[in-house]
Amino acid sequence: MIKRKMSMDKFLNILNKFLYTIESNNRSRFDINDAEKFVIEKTGGYNAYVKTGGYYCFFDTVKMLENQSIIAPIQSSGFNGLNPALSIRWRLIKEAQNDEWDMAFMMQLSDILDMSGYIRNKKWHTQKEKNYIISIYDFLKNSNNRELASCEERCLELFGNEKFLFTEDKKVLSRLNLSYEQLKMKKYGQMFTYWIRKRDVTNSVIILENHSTFFSMKRWVEDGGAIFGISPDLIIFGDGKHIIKSLSFLDEIADSNRCMITYFGDIDPEGWQIYYTLKRNYPEYNINLLFPAYKFLMDTGKSFPIGEKKQNMNPDVLDFMLKEFDAIYPQYNDKIQKLWNEKYRIPQEFLTYEELKDMVR
């Protein structure tokens, strides 16, 4: 009896993952044969499926979901030809609230999970959420033997949806007061393009907004040159605003706590915005402007209208940048203000390989 209950719990968890994928794809109907194939696959193949309880356990689990008003057969669809028979086509029923979670069930899970929120809030008691919790509980029982995975990998394993953290259902994690560390999952930053001198020693980092400047500086450093007195260990192509989301990838290739990071982008509202956001989003990183490069741009005396290109003219960003320059090059603040007010910009591409080379002649 206990073994059969465990088998049904396992099948129930897998079937709920299947139903979630149906719902996530904005579908309301499914084929029972597809559901059984999904269970067979998730149990480890046909032999494991049979050992776990096979079709009879699958049948009982489907009928349980029907009795709980989670799914309903489409009567006109015919039957699957097996004994006992199941309708071939089924539909999802809008999830109904279930206020009948047994206190013993919640106390049983409390040896690992913080169920206090669910004990206080019966409105959270739904079958879908219950199955998420059972899946989490089963994982945590053996988590000491598990390796770190990406958030997408772990969510696919536990909830049948690699994008689970982008759905409303993610609230189950906060309701259980669970951290990513407890679930042994990590949110990896998007990768960025970079050049690195030596992987074992990375102290000086330069982030560049644009592609061409990245290659010019990379080429100059590879030729033995320095960037305004800096010999960077790592040069990153920020790809405009993309660096805002991807900078955390730095932790995968270097010890960010040891890195002195300098940023160099266009002199325009968007370029300033990128630096401003990096400073706000990564307060644990030591990020500063590559001031001599900006001095070089403004000393060219060249600038261009921003034109039709839409840029975020956030006055907070301008104030922040003026304060940054006030500490190093206060004499350039009037020019920065003038460029902003008149909607002019200076592209960083003025700093070419030839210009870097000319600086040492």
For residue 351, give both structure tokens.
């700093």
Query: What would the two tokens of residue 196 be?
Result: 């690195």
What is the rounded CA–CA span in Å between residue 92 and residue 22? 9
Distance of alpha carbon 325 from alpha carbon 309, whole angstroms: 25
Amino acid, single-letter form, for residue 30: F
For the chain, how long is the longest CA-to-CA vector? Answer: 89
Say which residues have a Cβ less than 8 Å from residue 229's Cβ, sequence separation at least 6: 292
Which among 235, 237, 281 is positioned nearest to 261, based on CA atoms? 235
User: Quick one: average pLDDT of 152-181?
Assistant: 90
Helix (H) or strand (E) holding 263: strand 260-264
Domain 193-358: give its CATH architecture. 3-Layer(aba) Sandwich (3.40)
Give CA–CA dist 10/6, Å, rounded: 6
Return the minimum-mean-pLDDT range out of 13-27, 173-187, 196-210, 236-250.
13-27
* Percent of the chain residues past pLDDT 90, beyond the cut: 57
Q: What is the pLDDT of residues 68-82, one digit of tens each?
A: 778 899 988 889 989
Q: Residue 308: what pLDDT?
A: 73
- Position 35 pLDDT exceeds 60: yes
Query: How many CB atoms within 10 Å of residue 273?
Result: 22
pLDDT of residue 95: 53
Q: Which of 40, 44, 38, 45 is nearest to 22 (CA)?
A: 38
pLDDT tens column, 124-163: 888 888 889 999 999 999 899 999 888 989 998 898 888 8
pLDDT over 80 at 223, yes or no:
yes
For 227-242, the pLDDT digits (tens) are: 999 999 999 999 989 9
- pLDDT of res. 307: 77
Find residue 73's DSSP bridge partners: 90
Give me the pLDDT at residue 198, please: 79
Domain spans of the chain, in order of start: 2-92, 103-186, 193-358
- Does residue 2 have a pLDDT over 60? no
